Amino acid sequence: MRAWSFTAPGERKIVEVTDFMIPDRCILLLSGIPATGKSSFGQYLARVHSFAHYDLECYPRGWPHPELKLQWDSSRSEFVKALQKIHSHIALDWGFPVRCLPWVRELQDAGVRLLWFTGSRPQAREIFIARGGMDVRNFDDRIKAIQEARLPASLQCNCVEVLSEAGVLKEPVAIFEEIFRQ
C-alpha cells in the first residue's frame, strides 16, 4: 500500500506501508502531552485511511456529526454506540484535562483504544509557544496536572514516542505502522 508522508509544510513524498492490520472496527482516542501532533495524526488518519476524525475540543467545526454532542455530554458509552452506527474507523482527538479521567475510562470500557502521545516536554512547550493562540501557562498547568496524576502510567494505554529531544515529530506513517503492528 502507498501512503502520503508529509515532511514539511508544502512537501510530501510517497512511502510504502506494509505489514499492518486495521481491525474491521476501530475507535482510537488520541491523547497525551499538548503539542505532540495528535490533531495532525487524526487528520492523517482521516485523509489517508478513511477514519472519521472527531476533534473533541473543536465542536462543532471538528465533528463530522455535530448532532452527536448531546450523546457525548450525557453518556460516553452511548456516544460510542452512536459513532459505531455511522463509522467503522474513528479517531477521537482529545487532550483531556485530568479531571475527565472518569470519562476516559468510560470510553475505554466501551472499547475505545487510548493512544498516549509523548516525547520531549521542553520541545512540546516550544511548539506550543510557536503555534500561538494560548497562554503558555495553559501548557504548564496541563503538564503539571499530568505529572501529578502520574499519567500515562495510571492508564491502560499504548504510549507512542512522537517528539524527539531535537524537536523532530515522528512521521504520521511511522506512528501508523507502530500502532497497527502492536
pLDDT tens-digit readout, 127-139: 999 999 999 999 9
DSSP assignment of the chain equals: -EEEEEEETTEEEEEE--S----SSEEEEEEESTTSSHHHHHHHHHHHH--EEEETTSTTTT-SSGGGHHHHHH-HHHHHHHHHHH-SEEEEE----GGGHHHHHHHHHTTPEEEEEEE-HHHHHHHHHHH-SS-HHHHHHHHHHHHHTTTTTTS--EEEEEE-TTSPBPPHHHHHHHHH--
What's the rounded mean pLDDT across residues 139-151?
A: 97
Confidence check: pLDDT of 64 > 90: yes
- Domains along the chain with CATH numbers: 25-180 (3.40.50.300)
User: What global pTM score does this model have?
Assistant: 0.88
With bands split at pLDDT 50, 70 and 90, how would you rate the model's confidence at 19? low
Confidence check: pLDDT of 13 > 60: no
